[in-house]
Amino acid sequence: MTNPFRMPGGIASAAGHAADVGVTAFSGIAQAASTSAGNAANQAQTTDLSGGGQAGAASLQMMQMQDAQSARMIMFQGQQAMQTEQRNTMQAVSSAQTDAANKEISNVAQTAKGISY
């Protein structure tokens, strides 16, 4: 019976997958930070051109809110990537333990079959 949690290729494959998840998450975080910085620069320029006043204050407040939202999303992405990496590692270890136990059971069964003949 196949183990539904077993990653093809075993622990090495799972570790590689976990590393890929980390790289992907880092790329997403870098992209979000870049987008946030770009938005901040655009809004700062808009505020400078508007000459201040209520419109300038509103624009600055929106920029700060978007920056805070981007920071929360970056943290969330990073936490999710860490949890995924942890789950993948735990599944790889569990798979290796299950494989070892199955091999031991198979060896005992083969030995018992040999003795009975």
Q: How many domains does the chain have?
A: 1
Q: What digits encode the pLDDT tens for the residues 68-111?
A: 999 999 999 999 999 999 999 999 999 999 999 999 999 888 88
Helices (H), the chain: 10-50, 53-116
Residue 89 lies in a domain: yes
pLDDT at 1 over 50: no
Residue 47 lies in a domain: yes
Q: What's the CA gap between 89 and 98, in Å, rounded?
A: 14
Range of the domain at 79: 11-93
5 CB-side CA count, 13 A: 13
Q: Is the dihedral of CA 97, 98, 101, 103 positive or negative?
A: negative
Residue 2 lies in a domain: no
pLDDT at 23 over 50: yes
Answer yes or no: are the C-beta atoms of 73 and 34 closer than 8 Å: no
pLDDT at 114 over 50: yes
8 in the Ramachandran plot: left (φ > 0), alpha (ψ -120 to 50) or beta? beta
Residue 62 lies in a domain: yes
Residue 5 lies in a domain: no
Residue 74 lies in a domain: yes
Residue 63 lies in a domain: yes
CA–CA distances in Å: residue 50 to residues 53, 57, 60, 62, 99: 8, 10, 11, 15, 67
Residue 102 lies in a domain: no
